[in-house]
């Protein structure tokens, strides 16, 4: 039998007919990946009918028409809706709700057009049970349980639905390749085949992908380069919130997030996230909590930051963070020690962003500093105060972007004071309730109840 596949080193391009642990060419370990002997490629020219170079001004311009999924949070992250012929990768930890999200999106779309849902992980019965629970039973939603990519292609060509979901890319396999489903070679080849199909037929395909422990999409990072859009569904499995984050988008911005709440009836869109993240705030004056006015994409989000500073029992002090960047907390701790004379060297420090949300913008610094100082001194932060500001190494308070949006959201959510850098842009309208400080020391003086 003719060998249809070969193994190629990803580092140096060396070929081999069988798998080797170490590349004989460059000596790299575990770098050989199985490939088809004659890989098929699809050139963008073939799709657009453009073969000779021509001035960009003369390229026929069709506005990428999009169709909305009618799930507002999904459309927001996609940048307004689905682009025909696009390949969208939806990644996330096991059990986070990827299949749930996809089934809900497929259902919404299937009310207007046929949608093919290909499940490689669950039986048709299981999918039907889930669809029943989610209220997603509609005749326009076609179901196929298949893992052979050639069969999948056959179904897609036969039915030619405008949208399809492949759950998950790791279960798909190409029978010409000897490697197991989920291996780098298989995942890459299957994704490439679906890519060719999407580009030539105009079917938009959602690919579900699993994320490994290290936070990488299982299999190759190349998958992220191949597809048009990469979305991650993230969140704490023990919490109800799920955040859909755009990591890459060839047709829109990537700073938007979609916020959902997991319930028995599936993922429910959250229109006013601040309200939910703040609901369980401790009542009364409790030290160690402050509210950060964060900005996720174009949307402000108020999040409570809690800190606990307590003397170290033995050995080296512990430092733990959840939802905020560990390194930034270390930096803020150092600034508090050096610039403000706090003696934190013999204290354990725990910092947590409440609600399972992850804040990675420096604008949360001020709230972290307030919470830390408040816990250390055992003095509560003004409960009517929200804040946003970045701390510098010299103890200065730096302005942040989008301050007006943050302020408006804070006042809308019932806060009466807003603390920020005095170098923040001047605001239109009145200044009532705005507190400004040059330095972290000055800011903490205003934030902590005397």
Ligand X SMILES: Nc1ncnc2c1ncn2[C@@H]1O[C@H](COP(=O)(O)OP(=O)(O)OP(=O)(O)O)[C@@H](O)[C@H]1O
The site that binds ligand X (CB under 6 A) totals a number of residues, namely 12
Structure tokens at 328: 């930034």
Residue 100 contacts which entry, ligand X, Mg ion, none (Cβ below 5-8 A, type-dependent) = ligand X
What is the pattern of x (binds ligand X, CB under 6 A) and - over residues 93-122? -xxxxxxx--------------------x-
Query: Among 39-47, 56-64, 88-96, 298-306, which window interacts with ligand X (CB under 6 A)?
Result: 88-96
Tell which positions 280-309 bind ligand X, by CB under 6 A.
Answer: none
Q: Closest Cα to residue 118, out of 151, 77, 80? A: 151
Residues that constitute the known binding site for ATP: 92-99
**Token pair listed for 220:** 């190759």
Contacts with Mg ion in 82-111 (CB under 5 A)? 99
Residues 203-222 that bind ligand X (CB under 6 A): 210
Helix intervals (H) in 81-167 = 98-110, 124-134, 149-159
Strand, helix or coil for residue 196 = helix
Q: Could you give the CA distance from residue 75 to residue 72 in angstroms, rounded to a whole number?
A: 5
CB of 103 to Mg ion, least distance (A): 9
Alpha helices in 163-313 (DSSP H): 184-201, 222-226, 273-278
Residues 161-190 binding Mg ion (CB under 5 A) are none
> Considering the complex, what minimum distance in angstroms separates the CB of residue 231 from ligand X?
13
The correct pick among 88, 108, 109, 262 for binding ligand X (CB under 6 A) is 262
* Complex with Mg ion: residue 90 or 448, whichever CB lies closer: 90
Q: Is residue 92 near ligand X by the rule CB under 6 A?
A: yes
As a whole number of angstroms, the distance between CA 416 and CA 2 comes to 75
94 three-state secondary structure: coil
268 vs 435 by CB, closer to ligand X: 268
The one among 139, 264, 284, 311 contacting ligand X by CB under 6 A: 264
Q: How buried is residue 13: exposed, middle or buried, by Cβ count under 10 Å (0-12/13-18/19+)?
A: exposed
Q: Which residues contact 341 (CB under 8 A, 6 or more apart)?
A: none
Q: Which two tokens stand for residue 141?
A: 């939603």
Q: Interface with Mg ion by CB under 5 A: which residues?
A: 99
Q: Interface with ligand X by CB under 6 A: which residues?
A: 92, 94-100, 121, 210, 262, 264
């Amino acid at each position: 039998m003719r060998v249809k596949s070969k193994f190629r080193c990803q580092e140096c391009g060396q070929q081999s007919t069988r798998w080797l642990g170490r590349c004989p060419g460059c000596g790299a370990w575990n770098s050989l990946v199985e490939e088809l002997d004659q890989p098929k490629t699809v050139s963008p020219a073939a799709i657009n009918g453009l073969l000779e170079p021509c001035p960009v001004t003369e390229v026929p311009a069709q506005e990428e028409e999009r169709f909305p999924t009618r799930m507002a949070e999904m459309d927001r992250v996609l940048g307004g809706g689905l682009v025909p012929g696009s390949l969208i990768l939806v990644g996330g930890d096991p059990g986070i709700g990827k299949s749930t999200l996809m089934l809900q999106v497929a259902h919404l779309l299937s009310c207007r057009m046929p949608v093919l849902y290909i499940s490689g992980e669950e039986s048709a019965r299981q999918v039907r049970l889930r669809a029943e629970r989610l209220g997603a039973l509609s005749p326009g939603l076609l179901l196929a349980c298949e893992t052979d990519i050639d069969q999948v292609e056959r179904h897609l060509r036969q039915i030619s639905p405008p949208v399809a979901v492949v759950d998950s890319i790791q279960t798909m396999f190409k029978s010409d390749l000897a490697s197991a489903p989920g291996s780098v070679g298989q995942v890459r080849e299957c994704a490439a085949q679906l890519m060719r199909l999407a580009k030539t037929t105009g079917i938009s395909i959602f690919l579900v992908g699993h994320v490994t422990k290290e936070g990488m999409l299982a299999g190759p990072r190349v998958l992220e380069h191949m597809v048009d859009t990469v979305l991650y569904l993230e969140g704490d499995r023990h919490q109800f919130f799920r955040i859909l984050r755009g990591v890459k988008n060839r047709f829109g911005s990537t700073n938007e997030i979609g916020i959902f709440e997991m319930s028995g009836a599936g993922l429910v869109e959250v229109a006013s996230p601040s309200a939910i993240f703040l609901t369980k705030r401790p009542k009364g004056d409790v030290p160690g909590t402050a509210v950060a006015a964060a900005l996720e994409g174009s949307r402000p989000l108020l999040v409570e930051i809690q800190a606990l500073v307590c003397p170290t029992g033995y050995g080296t002090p512990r430092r733990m963070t959840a939802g905020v960047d560990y390194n930034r907390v270390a930096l803020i701790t150092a600034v508090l020690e050096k610039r403000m004379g706090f003696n934190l060297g013999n204290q354990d420090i725990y910092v947590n962003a409440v609600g399972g949300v992850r804040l990675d913008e420096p604008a949360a610094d001020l709230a972290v500093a307030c919470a830390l100082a408040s816990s250390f001194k055992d003095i509560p932060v003004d409960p009517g105060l929200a804040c946003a500001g970045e701390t510098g190494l010299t103890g200065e308070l730096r302005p942040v972007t989008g301050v007006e949006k943050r302020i408006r959201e804070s006042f809308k959510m019932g806060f009466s004071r807003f603390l920020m850098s005095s170098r923040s842009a001047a605001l239109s309208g009145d200044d009532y309730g705005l507190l400004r400080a040059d330095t972290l020391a000055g800011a903490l003086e205003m934030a902590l109840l005397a």
